[in-house]
Structure 1
């Protein structure tokens, strides 16, 4: 049977298209049959191929860190950041395009995107530090941290820089096919949308920041599911693209939901804690259904917060911290051990058409 890795390389070299790759895989399974059963309920991630990945990543960090320090002594910040982005692209030509090393490729992509974004924002006239402020404002602060940028010009510069960064991320993906690049580009577009709304309608953002971020998270989750549904056996690069999109969408969805019910406030009562745990159970059901654990990981902090509040209510003040951590650890272990039968129970309740498009599961 032809391997998915060989077809991935064929797509990268332009020998076949993505559609032809999936058709060839389907034909090979039909003619020859599977060599082995597909993995059951495993969320695989091509993150590291060997210790050489760690070794090269250490070298990249040392080399680019020292280079950036020396560049900063002789060039303005914008030019230095642009040069750093160019250097990371150059290193990717060897370690990503030729060696196909997973971890160095992810690190080089992150350096390229962040450097390009900050360089573009400074080139476009944003005040020094505005790009960092925009990143902070997107994720944290009060509620979702949505607040006005220093001025309208800075907001426009940061938004245009984010749009330009998404275009550069698309170019990077066309060249290197690193799965995380799609999530990086989508993140840049989301930042552009948030920043433009912050500048154009600050009152709207102050009143509706949580549902707006929640809507963006749902859109990214839907995009991730589109990649997942197109590759239910998780044999191609699409499953890695979906993983990073799920990782991006999960905190946006989870934090928005719990922010809306007041779970981020200190000292929530028993009723609020019970509501938080009920929402966490729903998130767990969705995670089991789609066989992605990002929603669960994002919600663990809030589940722990709810458990701690309940323990304080019943008088476990001296042992709240360790008992909460113990309970969360036990929950994660039990859920991991029972993931397969739980998925079988949930997926079996769906229609055959939907069940066939989801990742395979073991029978109960």
Structure 2
């Protein structure tokens, strides 16, 4: 959640709170303090753009063979320099002034920069430290060309992969997780906390893939559901630690919910389309497991997926009402619109009519939810105690709310 700005001593001086139209249950923005955040963010984006263009100009002016090791080292040095600049800016804007929106972009720039440098460094270790290059694999996997895809084939191929290369997915996951964790524990930015949750879940999946790639691949639909559910549960846990929604814990929960919703929704749709596991034949025809292609088709499968998506989003809406979190619904709006359009399109209507009905239906539902949010919550939470552990998970509706 946003925290009080420390721009001036006046901010900390006792004074009457400014008038606000926000009600007790209205969610405060976990990514914006005020317009000054927007103003600062514009400057940050311009500065980051200038750093990128400047780095490109420096690289083009170097008289070094493009792609050579020296050229790569120079490029990584410039990217590392960008990471240092973003960190120093973050120390001022996020660490001292608690500028949340600029912090989100700075966190993204820092994470991407550090991840690129770390992955490149490990690749150089493989190539120059362990002499693992393209020549290492020449002729080593020819035996698998005529073999069917199954566990035995995967195990035979893995036996030919050096362990240092085999753990590359874990290294890549750690390379992305480390800068996010650094950012979160240094500046306590809620966005970084949510991103760290995604990084931890992804790292767990990559670890399973490294240990047993066949099982991870075959159970990918179920694994994706587990990742989305874990993020959703983590968001609920963080919310339960801050039921009043006044600290950064609640802000972190917002981003966990925000990231969980699209992951969980797409994972459930994949399960409906494919099942909890893949078949070995599915890997021979990747187009058959393309979710977007399936929803864009004119067959009954598209209608089934659309109906399922709306059911899942309705469940999201119910959970959102119970835990007083609108992020779950917002993350599914695009899919909800596509699903409504798919269903309406089955009636054979013209495109403008389909678009109009889709927008009217989706807009009406969102407006109704917005207008009747608290009354509906009051009805749903009637059986839930207003105090105790359950009240921390399902915040009660205040009597002063409309």
Structural RMSD (CA): 3.2
Q: Quick one: which of 113, 116, 123 aligns to 2:114? A: 116
How many Å separate the matches in 1 of 2:310 and 2:257?
A: 21
Query: Is residue 340 of structure 2 the alignment partner of residue 304 of structure 1?
Result: no
Aligned match of 1:63 in 44, 47, 52?
A: 47
Q: In the TM superposition, what whole-angstrom CA distance separates every residue of 1:320-363 from its partner, at most 9, and x where no partner exists?
A: 12211221111111111111111111112324435521333145
1:293 aligned residue (322, 326, 331): 326
> 1:206 maps to which residue?
217
Q: CA deviation at 1:69?
A: 2.9
Q: How many residues align?
A: 314
Following superposition, the deviation at residue 190 of structure 1 comes to 2.8
1:180 maps to 191
TM-score (norm 2): 0.69
Between stretches 170-179 and 70-79, larger displacement belongs to 70-79
Instruction: Give the structure 2 partner of residue 138 of structure 1.
Output: none
1:162–1:313 CA distance, 2 compared to 1 (3 A): closer
| Matches for 1:220-299 after TM superposition, within 5 Å | 220-262=231-273, 264=292, 265=294, 266-267=297-298, 269=300, 273-299=306-332
Could you tell me how far 1:175 is from its partner in structure 2? Answer: 2.2
Alpha carbons of structure 1 residues 103 and 279: separation in structure 2 relative to 1, 3 Å: closer
Give 2:284's aligned residue: none
Q: Aligned residue for 1:332?
A: 366
Pick the aligned partner of 1:163 from 154, 170, 174.
174
Q: What is residue 154 of structure 2 aligned with on the other side?
A: none
Maintained 8 Å contact 1:155/1:196: no
CA contact (8 A) 1:224 1:241 kept: yes
Output aligned runs, 1:65-104, within 5 Å: 65-72=49-56, 73-74=58-59, 76-104=74-102
1:131 corresponding residue in structure 2: none
State how far apart, in whole Å, the 1-side matches of 2:322 and 2:116 are.
38
Q: 1:164 to 1:336 in 2, by over 3 A?
A: same
Change (3 A) 1:314 1:205: same
Q: CA deviation at 1:172?
A: 2.4
Distance 1:42 1:337 in 2: 12
Matches of 2:217 and 2:180, distance apart in 1 = 30
Shift of 1:164: 4.0
Question: Which moved further from structure 2: 307-316 or 329-338?
Answer: 307-316
CA separation of 1:79/1:307 partners in 2, compared to 1, >3 Å: closer, same or farther? same
Which blocks of at least 5 consecutive residues in structure 2 are unaligned? 7-19, 60-72, 127-160, 274-290
Name the structure 1 match of 2:395.
Answer: 359
- Contact kept, 8 Å, 1:308 with 1:324, in 2: the verdict is yes
Does the 8 Å contact 2:265/2:309 carry over to 1? no
Report the CA distance between 1:123 and its aligned residue: 1.1
Distance 1:199 1:77, change over 3 A: farther
Which residue is 2:288 aligned to? Answer: none
Q: Evaluate the alpha carbon distance shift between residue 65 and residue 5 of structure 1 in structure 2; reply closer, same or farther with a 3 A threshold.
A: closer
Match of 1:43 among 7, 12, 27: 27
Instruction: Note closer, same or farther for the CA distance 1:301–1:47 as it changes in structure 2 (3 Å cut).
Output: closer
In structure 1, distance between residues paired with 2:327 and 2:170:
28
CA contact (8 A) 2:119 2:171 kept: yes
Distance verdict in 2 for CA 1:347–1:155, change over 3 Å: farther
- Distance change (3 Å), C-alpha of 1:243 and 1:60: same
- In 1, the alpha carbon distance for the partners of 2:255 and 2:244 equals 17
Question: Is 1:218 aligned with 2:254?
Answer: no
1:25-81 CA distance string (max 9 Å, x none): xxxxxxxxxxx9994432212422333322222222222222233334346333322
Measure how far apart 1:234 and its partner are.
Answer: 0.8
Are 2:269 and 2:308, in contact at CA under 8 Å, matched by a contact in 1? no
SS of 1:97's equivalent in the other structure is: helix
